[in-house]
Structure 1
Amino acid sequence: MSLVRTYLRPKVFGLAVVGALVLGALLGLLARQASASWPATTLETIGTIFTDLLQVTVLPLVFTAIVLGISSLRELGGARTAARLGGKTVLWFATTSLIAVLIGLAAGTIVNPGKGASITPNQSTVDKLAARDHGSWLDVVRDLVPDNLFAAFADGQVLQVVVIAVTFGLAAYGLGERAEPFVRFNRVIFDLVQKVLSWIIRLAPLGVLGLIGHAFASYGNQFLRPLLTLIATVYAGALLVLFVVYPLLLRFVGKVPPALFFRKAWTALQFAFVSRSSGATLPLSRQTAINLGVDPGYASFAVPLGTTTKMDGCAAVYPAVATIFITNLYGISLSPGDYVLIIVVAVFGAIATAGVTGWFTMLTLTLTTLNLPPGVIATGIAVVYGIDPILDMMRTATNVAGQIAIPTWIARTEGLLDDETLHAPSAPPLLETAPVPAGG
């Protein structure tokens, strides 16, 4: 047991993940050079099994976490306090999304990725994406309400599950003590799923080896060719948000030392980077917020909400840069009005990233809002489709950082941040969480 606990400590676990990343890259390059296909297939299978295991836990985690989070707001001072906290959280989510999309537009304008490039996507990819339903504002509205309560879970409709969870959470909040059996049931499910996820997370180094290995086996050194400018620009924009915007807000709004924040959040950020899933990182994100001193009740509300709607990487930086890249490929000039539309979509369309189409919906929502021809949209997305796993790693890490950082500085402004916990010398082992407060 002591060996397991040592392995799960952030520093040891982090070293294991980094080691697996390096080894996976080497194995992937060797697999690419091999004449046989089985090494690449084996790496892909390992990575796929790991991500599938993670995805199994996402919907029950999101539902139970939101229900418990809303219910627990009763402990923080009543309906007015809950409404103020909810409004303040959403306002800061929108504000940082605005900052992130402006950074994405600035990075894209300066680097001008795709200018003069000539890239031809695989035709089968173009056909597949052209046949796929493109995101639109009407689709987002339609997807808010499920046809069937259980179908939303069965079909993996995260956005619908969020709406259902918020509805049931508000109902439980309103019923108070009468809803306590329902709240206790959700708390048990939340703890059970979190326990299962803690077992899955122990396999993270193996999953990383497969995921990174497959990426290198598939793309090799193609990152150094025409698409390098897109990768570099997305990473640069995301890194500015991650290591400049959030630290400044943490320092001057939350009075939290940025170095301390990243020390405690590093395990969650690493896991987000390699798993490419904010939902699968949710327990680590929530626990990190609590380790930073955020009141468990508020953390249980704000972090799950951010996990499904706060996507500065996917919904702000990336669509801005990718739109500039795709329009450059076709020699299309963007007007000042087009830039305004990109900003509006990033600030108000982030909720679309909670749908099963993820980054695809957000990017197509941006491109269709600019009224680009369908052929340009399908072909342009096909160009970036092949390298999306590499882009998604940085996007997800940025998403998760915001999902932890924003609740942290809001907690400071609301007197919900415990400085003793914040400055504790070390975080507890992975997923050894504080209990979720009772709601009602």
Structure 2
Amino acid sequence: MNTLRQLPNSALVLLLCVLLGSLAGVFAEPLGAAAYAVGQIYITIVNMAAVPLLVVAMFFGLRQLMGLPRPGLRIGTMLMLAIAVVALCAFAGTLAGVVAAPGLHLSDAAHAELGRLVLSSGGNAGEVRMQLFEQGAQAAAERAFALTDVVPDNFFSALASGRALGILTCTIFFGMAFAALSSEQTKVLNGIFESIYRALETLIDYANLLLPVLVFGTAAHLVAHTPREVLSAMSGFIWVFLVSAAGLSCIALAAIAVRTRVSFGRAVACLRAPMLVGFTSGTATAAIPHTIEAMSAKLGFSRGVAELVVPFGAVFLRAGSALYFALAASFVANLYGHSLDIGDCVMIAAAATAAAFASAGRNGVGGIAAAGIALSLLRLPVEAALVLFVAIDLICDGPRNLLSLLSTCTVVALVSAGLPADRTAASPQPKPLYGESAMVRLAFTRAQLALVAGCALVAASLIVIMGIGVGAR
């Protein structure tokens, strides 16, 4: 069983799954489709645990954080850093979009292929349905930014409908009230939260055993169903996004290494397991147990801070999505010949930041749809443009999640400033002579030895007398 648990953390195994999946997508498509279906089951299981894990982790993390020095300042710092990191990634994406200008110099063949893809998404008639009535669009916009989505009047309704921002608000309010109670008042409930938290972590840990199957199926699905013409037409955007995500991920790793005062390679080695899981799983929740363990036990940051920030960041700190949305808006603007000035760049960065938080708790097409916030501000076609990014979403999903994961780890490192490390240096202990057993030593005084000898002599005399009596009969 331990060997199976190591497979999802092996880069060599996952790379082999990618290569075999690519071959299956060409020569054995039914096998790849079956593996892809199993991978979707894995994603469903992990997403099922996401919301309860967030709620319980917030309760438990806030309770622990209240016992640390300056808890209010640390919570405020955590929120401000989360917003700053997401905004920084959105600004970096806007800058990369202006400098690299993906979509600006496409060939006529690439334009024709992208146009064919957009038209084919409209159905058999080759039409794209768009909202022509301003009242309908305005109503949809009002519904998208309703106040009840942020501050719901019914917590259970927010849980049932999956409104992540409303869940966060209710969880923070209830968690702060729960943390304000004495330990005696919350002793039983604290134990229940602890048990639920560990059970959800165990569920995700076991579900990660299916990660190689997901990688195999995803590679097969990409090779079998993604046309080469689409990849060629979108290659400019893909390369700019991959390079930007890799650069920002390296900056995050360098910041973590500086905070821990270890080498860059050591930081990468400690975070190898959560990075592999986050990059290949397709969901930000799967790496939560590995990330908490790496940040606390291996890198030495406060476990209380890690258990609060990591689940929170997995759902809401979408730094990778902010970078993606900013580049997507720049790409579509270049594609339609919309020149970007300074005002447009500021608008794209702000809209990408808002879209990243608006996409909290959503994966796949639901998360990509938040890019419409930035596109609508630039008066660019939203429905038609999003079709292009749905076609390449599986390629960009891994780097997106990896950047968000490392950004969350950076927030943990910065919030933990001034706290004693939970990791204690292992002092060298002499190895026992007989494995794990310990030697027992007995010490007696002279009086005790005399008493023991006298008792032994009396016992021996009684045994001799009893033997003589039995023999005489």
2:259·2:413 contact (CA, 8 Å) conserved in 1?
Answer: no
Counterpart residue identity of residue 283, structure 1: P
CA drift of 1:225 comes to: 0.7
Is 1:219 the equivalent of 2:202?
no
Greater alpha carbon shift after TM alignment, 103-112 vs 81-90: 103-112
Task: Kindly report which structure 2 residues correspond to 1:255-266, keeping only aligned pairs within 5 A, or say none.
Answer: 255-266=261-272
2:237·2:327 contact (CA, 8 Å) conserved in 1?
Answer: yes
Given candidates 398, 413, 416, the residue that maps to 2:403 is 398
Counterpart residue identity of residue 71, structure 1: R
CA drift of 1:323 comes to: 0.6
Greater alpha carbon shift after TM alignment, 350-359 vs 100-109: 350-359
Is 1:23 the equivalent of 2:20?
yes
Task: Kindly report which structure 2 residues correspond to 1:293-304, keeping only aligned pairs within 5 A, or say none.
Answer: 293-304=300-311
Given candidates 40, 56, 70, the residue that maps to 1:64 is 56
Is 1:378 the equivalent of 2:383?
yes
CA drift of 1:30 comes to: 2.5
Task: Give the aligned partner of residue 83 of structure 2.
Answer: 94
Greater alpha carbon shift after TM alignment, 254-263 vs 349-358: 349-358
Task: Give the aligned partner of residue 418 of structure 2.
Answer: 414
Counterpart residue identity of residue 6, structure 1: T
**Residue 56 to residue 129, structure 1, CA distance change in 2 (3 Å):** farther
Task: Give the aligned partner of residue 36 of structure 2.
Answer: 44
Instruction: Tell me the TM-score normalised to structure 2 length.
Output: 0.78
Between the aligned partners of 2:410 and 2:193, the Cα distance in structure 1 is: 26
Secondary structure of the structure 2 residue equivalent to 1:202: helix
Given candidates 234, 245, 256, the residue that maps to 1:238 is 245
Task: Give the aligned partner of residue 345 of structure 2.
Answer: 339
**Residue 251 to residue 187, structure 1, CA distance change in 2 (3 Å):** closer
Greater alpha carbon shift after TM alignment, 191-200 vs 130-139: 130-139
Give the structure with higher Rg (CA).
Answer: 2
Task: Give the aligned partner of residue 281 of structure 1.
Answer: 287
Task: Kindly report which structure 2 residues correspond to 1:130-169, keeping only aligned pairs within 5 A, or say none.
Answer: 139=145, 141-146=147-152, 148-169=154-175
2:46·2:286 contact (CA, 8 Å) conserved in 1?
Answer: yes
Task: Give the aligned partner of residue 115 of structure 1.
Answer: 104
CA drift of 1:175 comes to: 1.7
C-alpha deviations, 1:336-387, integer Å up to 9, x for none?
11111122234455421214365324311222233x14xx111111111111
Between the aligned partners of 2:347 and 2:422, the Cα distance in structure 1 is: 40
C-alpha deviations, 1:97-151, integer Å up to 9, x for none?
2332232122212221111431123446457885799778962644223454333
Between the aligned partners of 2:264 and 2:388, the Cα distance in structure 1 is: 37
Task: Give the aligned partner of residue 202 of structure 1.
Answer: 209
Between the aligned partners of 2:362 and 2:344, the Cα distance in structure 1 is: 27
Counterpart residue identity of residue 400, structure 2: R
CA drift of 1:253 comes to: 4.8
Counterpart residue identity of residue 150, structure 1: F
Task: Give the aligned partner of residue 68 of structure 2.
Answer: 76
Instruction: Tell me the TM-score normalised to structure 1 length.
Output: 0.83
Given candidates 365, 371, 385, the residue that maps to 1:363 is 371
Task: Give the aligned partner of residue 74 of structure 2.
Answer: 85
Between the aligned partners of 1:130 and 1:279, the Cα distance in structure 2 is: 34
2:253·2:268 contact (CA, 8 Å) conserved in 1?
Answer: no
Percent of residue pairs identical: 22
- Give unpaired runs (5+ residues) of structure 1: 33-37, 425-440
